[in-house]
Amino acid sequence: MIVVVGVNHETAPVAVREALAFPKHELGQALERVRKDAGLGEAMILSTCNRVEVYGRSEKPAVRSVAEFLARYHGRPPQEIEKHLYCLEGETAVRHAFRVAASLDSMVLGESQILGQVRGAYEAAERAGSLGSVLNGLRARSIAAAKRARSETAIGRNAVSVSHVAVELANKIFGQLHGRCVLLVGAGKMSELAARQMVRRGARASVLGGRTFDKAEELAASLGGRAAPFEALRAELARADVVISGTGAPGVVVLREDVEAAQEARHGRPLFLIDIAVPRDIAEDAGRVKGVFLYDIDDLQKVATANLRERKKESTAAEAIVEHEVREFLEWRRSLEIVPLVVELRRRADEIRRAEIDKARHRLGPLTPEQESALEAATSAIVNKLLHAPTVRLKELAGHGQADHVGLVRRLFDL
Amino acid sequence: MGSRAYLLITLVFYAAGALHALLHALLRRSALTTVSLIATLLGFAFHTAALSQRWTEAGHFPAVGLRDGACFLGWAIVLVFLLVHVTTRVEAASLFAYPFVFGLVFVANLTPDTGRADPVLRSLYLPVHLLLAVFGYGALFAAFSMGVLYLFQERELLTRSPRRFYYLIPSLERSDTIGGRSVLGGFGFLTLAIVTGFLWNHSLHGRYWTGDPKEWTALVAWGIYVGILVARWRWGWGGRRAAWLAIAGFAVVVFTFGWATLVPAVAVAAR
């Protein structure tokens, strides 16, 4: 049976998640210990900032001992973490594993990091030698399902963080950012984040510095661009395609006249102004100049919210895909459960067959090789033909979740 | 099977493709799906069969009269659409092409055959000239579509609160580039269409210019192409100005065509 025991951003505050987190370098020994302590045949630990989860396979009920292991490993009293834990078994555990990989259980719905984290966790478990056929099956199927959900629905499309929205809007205007100029006015943390993403997509950066020119130069160097004094604003505006403004100035820094002058020099080519400063840096009416798109921090936030709403709508379709894949996985698992029974049944039949052949040989005396092989072939054919239909039916029934026939078959054949 | 039957099957496939695309655009923000593309391809195969069957039946290239004209125009638009799809992958192009093609094939299905079989129509100039002309005008239609998409996206970006279209429409830069290329390609095709038209005229009437409304339309469209090209590459007009120019250019061509064909018809009817 597959079990999942853990905490996530919904069930536990950050303090608890921190306390239960597993650092990467400890994963190997933690996996070893959880397998020993909780008697797990296979184990995997997924530890990210939003969740800590132990995945396992065990023959007997194991969630309690896994929960105890979590408390003991991190030196916490069990009752302290108990109320934050979810302990899942069987079908619910499988469904949870699939939903986590598909980012349907994430804080930011559809975020793309989780799939990489899940992959990493399975790889670490593989290195520690704690993966077997069951968790490996779960790994392959849940990752495939997550990819399907991402590619067939829009759950992961469209940015939901402010800096990503800025990049995406720039893409909506310029198609691609390769070779475009990004102008930073002021060297704030947030503008740096957005600019860095644009530079990664091939944009060139320049930084305007005021009194703290050193800082501007430093930032420009780290972005692989150049710094310019604030007095060069108009010339730089004329050259830029995207402007990210985030100074701490108390008043307006970029006037409508500056933008108008720049637009004149640019033949009305689009200019994307992003004002993430509060109070705002760019005059509001600059957004009315032809060819200029002005977004302030609220506008970006609004787009992010709208995108998140779109993702939520998509999540129903993604859930349906995941549910379908979960069903298939469970069917596959159940059809495997039947394998030992079938093997045993065949073995038993073969035993009987051999015993009867020996008896016959005894009575018949020495046989020619032709007679030997005819006897062998005839008895094998009888056994195979008799067992063919029951084998097929058993696999079918197991696939449909009717594994309770196993007991009956055992009793019928005295296995 | 006759060309009628082929055309009916064509309509069914196009309808399925258009409906699927429309529903997807409304629900899932992707305008073009594999299903609708396959339906379109199947429809196009039957459409081509209908066209060739009709060619045999009529004894000349079937592009004259309402039925054959609509059928041929629809076929050419699908061809252009498929080419645009292969080269640009702009999904929103289907929003323009599908309804238009469906309408044309629908009309073609409803209209009875015209029994006219002018020997003049047997000329091979007809298909060559027509194909060039359709590509020539089709490119202007593509530029017009891209212009509309450009202005739409620009408005979406200016309102700062994205709605459905925001997700579907290509970036401003892309619309602009594709629009520019359409104009350039269309100019080439239309020039060739005009040249073949003149040659055909000459072989029929011994004159290059006959004063036919279609000739005037072609000339106006050609002039508009030259204007757009000059504005774009000489004066550096891009973006919204180029978008408006393409839209206005297309409107003028449609108007000229309507005026040039309808007014003489009205005059004939009044006589």
- Please spell the DSSP secondary structure of A29-90, one letter per residue: HHHHHHHHHHT-SEEEEEE-SSEEEEEEE-SS--HHHHHHHHHHHTT--HHHHHTT-EEEEH
Alpha-carbon separation of residue A314 from A14, A46, A158, A317, A407 (angstroms): 28, 26, 12, 6, 43
The pLDDT of residue A27 is 93
**A295 → chain B, closest CA residue:** B160
With 90 as the cut, is the pLDDT of residue B215 above it? no
pLDDT of the residue at B90: 76
pLDDT value of residue B126: 80
* Model confidence band, residue B152 (pLDDT cutoffs 50, 70, 90): confident
Q: How much is the average pLDDT of A84-106?
A: 94
Model confidence at B117, pLDDT cuts 50, 70, 90, reads low
Which of the four pLDDT bands, split at 50, 70 and 90, describes residue A324? very high
Q: In A, which residues are within 8 Å of B239 by CB distance? A: 268-270, 291
Ranking A82-91, B196-205, B250-259 by mean pLDDT, the lowest is B250-259
> Is 80 exceeded by the pLDDT of residue B93?
no
Give me the domain span that covers residue A43: 2-157
In a mutational test of the A interface, the residue from B89, B150, B167, B235 whose CB has the highest number of chain A CBs within 10 Å is B167
**Are A318 and A91 within 8 A, CB to CB?**
no
pLDDT tens for A14-46 read: 999 999 999 999 999 999 999 999 999 999 999
Residue A20 half-sphere exposure toward CB, CA atoms < 13 A: 35
What was the pLDDT predicted at A151? Answer: 87
Q: What pLDDT shows up at residue A128?
A: 94
Given a cut of 80, is residue B162 above it in pLDDT?
no
CA distance A66 to A58: 11
Is the same domain home to B86 and B191? no
- Segment A269-278 shows an average pLDDT of 89
Least CB-CB distance to A270: which of B172, B236, B237?
B172
A49 counts as catalytic: yes
Contact predicate B180/B242, CB 8 Å: yes
Q: Identify all chain B residues contacting A174, using CB atoms and an 8 Å cutoff.
A: 171-173
- A8 and A153, same domain (yes or no): yes
Question: Six-digit token pair at B253?
Answer: 């061509």
Looking at the structure of chain B, the number of domains it has is 2
| pLDDT per position as a tens digit, A41-62 | 999 999 998 999 999 999 888 8
Indicate if B136 and B179 belong to the same structural domain: yes
Segments forming the whole domain that contains residue B244: 123-271
**Both ends of chain B: CA-CA distance in Å?**
43
Q: What is the CATH number of the domain that holds A286?
A: 3.40.50.720
Please give the single-letter amino acid code of residue A364: L
Q: Answer whether residue B161 is part of any domain.
A: yes
Interface test with A, best of B33, B157, B159 (most A CBs within 10 A): B157
Residue to test with chain B: of A169, A172, A173, A307, most B Cβ within 10 A? A172
Cα separation, B17 vs B74, whole angstroms: 14
Partner residue facing B29 (CB), from A154, A267, A302: A154
Are both A120 and A245 inside the same structural domain?
no
Cα A63 from Cα A70, distance rounded (Å): 11
Say whether both A168 and A217 belong to one domain.
Answer: yes
Give A415's pLDDT tier (boundaries 50, 70, 90).
confident
pLDDT band at A99 (very low <50, low <70, confident <90, very high): very high
Nearest to A281 by CA among A224, A230, A238: A230
| B123 vs A: CB within 8 A | no
Residue B161 pLDDT more than 80? no
Residues of chain B with C-beta less than 8 angstroms from the C-beta of A291: 239-240
Q: Is A142 within 8 Å of A323 (Cβ atoms)?
A: no
The domain that holds A34 is classified in CATH as 3.30.460.30
Average pLDDT over residues A136-146: 95
d(CA A149, CA A359): 61
Task: Provide the b/e sequence for A324-336 (b: ≥16 CB within 10 Å).
Answer: ebbeebbeebbbe
The answer to the question of residue B29 being in a domain is: yes
A14, A29, A36, A49: the active-site residue: A49
pLDDT recorded at residue A117: 94
Count of beta carbons in the 10 Å neighbourhood of residue B220: 17
DSSP calls for B187-249: HHHHHHHHHHHHHHHHHHHS-S----HHHHHHHHHHHHHHHHHHHHHTS---HHHHHHHHHHH
pTM value?
0.70
The residue from B86, B112, B138 where one domain ends is B112
Considering only CB atoms, B239 lies closest to which of A171, A270, A303, namely: A270
pLDDT in tens, A373-406: 998 999 999 999 999 988 888 877 776 766 567 7
Does A93 touch chain B if contact means CB atoms closer than 8 Å?
Answer: no
Q: Which residues of B touch A267 (CB under 8 A)?
A: 236-238
pLDDT single digits (tens) A158-184: 888 888 889 989 998 998 899 999 999
* Of A157, A166, A205, A206, the residue nearest A294 (C-alpha): A166
Q: Are B107 and B130 members of one domain?
A: no
A151 with A167, same domain: the answer is no
Phi-psi map region of A202: left, alpha, beta (phi>0 left; psi -120 to 50 alpha):
left
Asked if B41 contacts B10 with a C-beta cutoff of 8 angstroms, the reply is no
Q: What is the pLDDT of residue B207?
A: 82
> CB B173 to CB A317 under 8 A?
no
Question: Which 3 state secondary structure label does DSSP give A175?
Answer: coil
Q: What value does the mean pLDDT of chain B take?
A: 81
Of A158, A270, A299, the CB nearest to B160: A299
Same domain, A298 and A363: no
Percent of chain A past pLDDT 70, that is, above it, reads 98
What own/partner pairs with CB < 8 Å and gap ≥ 24 does A325-329 have?
Answer: A325/A98, A325/A141, A325/A142, A325/A144, A325/A145, A325/A148, A326/A91, A326/A94, A326/A95, A326/A98, A326/A145, A328/A141, A329/A94, A329/A98, A329/A137, A329/A138, A329/A141, A329/A142
Q: Is residue B152 part of a domain?
A: yes
Closest residue in A to B172 (Cα) is: A173
Number of Cβ atoms within 10 Å of the Cβ of B171:
21
Decide if pLDDT at B44 tops 90: yes
Identify the domain boundary among B93, B112, B131.
Answer: B112
Distance CA A260, CA A268 (A): 10
Claim to verify: residue A16 and residue A140 sit in the same structural domain = yes
Residue bearing the bigger pLDDT, B65 or B131: B131
Task: Tell me: do B176 and B85 sit in the same domain.
Answer: no
Residue B51's H or E segment, with its range, is helix B34-58
Q: Name all contacts of A326-331 with Cβ < 8 Å and 24+ positions apart.
A: A326/A91, A326/A94, A326/A95, A326/A98, A326/A145, A328/A141, A329/A94, A329/A98, A329/A137, A329/A138, A329/A141, A329/A142, A330/A91, A330/A94, A330/A401, A331/A399, A331/A400, A331/A401
Choose the weakest-confidence range: A109-123, A142-156, A211-225, A349-363. Answer: A211-225
Last residue of some domain: B56, B84, B112? B112
Distance from CA of B189 to the nearest CA of A (A): 28
Confidence at residue A248, expressed as pLDDT on a 0 to 100 scale: 82
Degrees to nearest 5, angle at CA A271 with A183 and A263: 105
Percentage with pLDDT > 90 across chain A: 52
Q: Is B170 on the interface with A (CB under 8 A)?
A: yes
Are the C-beta atoms of residues B86 and B178 closer than 8 Å to each other?
no
H-run or E-run covering B10 = helix B3-28
Do both B270 and B157 map to the same domain? yes
Within this chain, do residues A100 and A16 fall inside the same structural domain, yes or no?
yes
Q: Does B88 contact A at CB distance below 8 Å?
A: no
Pick B174's closest partner by Cβ from A175, A290, A302. Answer: A175
Amino acid at B265: A
Note whether residue A315 is domain-resident: no
Contacts of B153 in chain A (CB under 8 A): 172
ipTM of the complex: 0.73
Cα A121-A127-A130 angle, rounded to 5 deg: 80
Count of structural domains within chain A: 3
The mean pLDDT value for B21-40 works out to: 75
Lowest mean pLDDT among A80-89, A173-182, A183-192: A183-192
Name every chain B residue with its beta carbon within 8 A of the beta carbon of A157: 29, 167
* Token couple for A172: 């909506």
The first and second tokens of residue A29, run together, are 């020994």
Query: Model confidence over A278-293: pLDDT tens digits?
Result: 889 999 999 999 889 9
With 0-12 / 13-18 / 19 or more C-beta atoms within 10 angstroms meaning exposed / middle / buried, residue A119 is: middle
A-chain residues within 8 Å CB-CB of B30?
154
Position A326 in a domain: no
Encoded amino acid at A229, one letter: P
Binned at pLDDT 50, 70 and 90, residue A103 comes out as very high
Mean pLDDT estimate for chain A: 89
Query: Cβ separation of A171 and B162 shorter than 8 Å?
Result: no
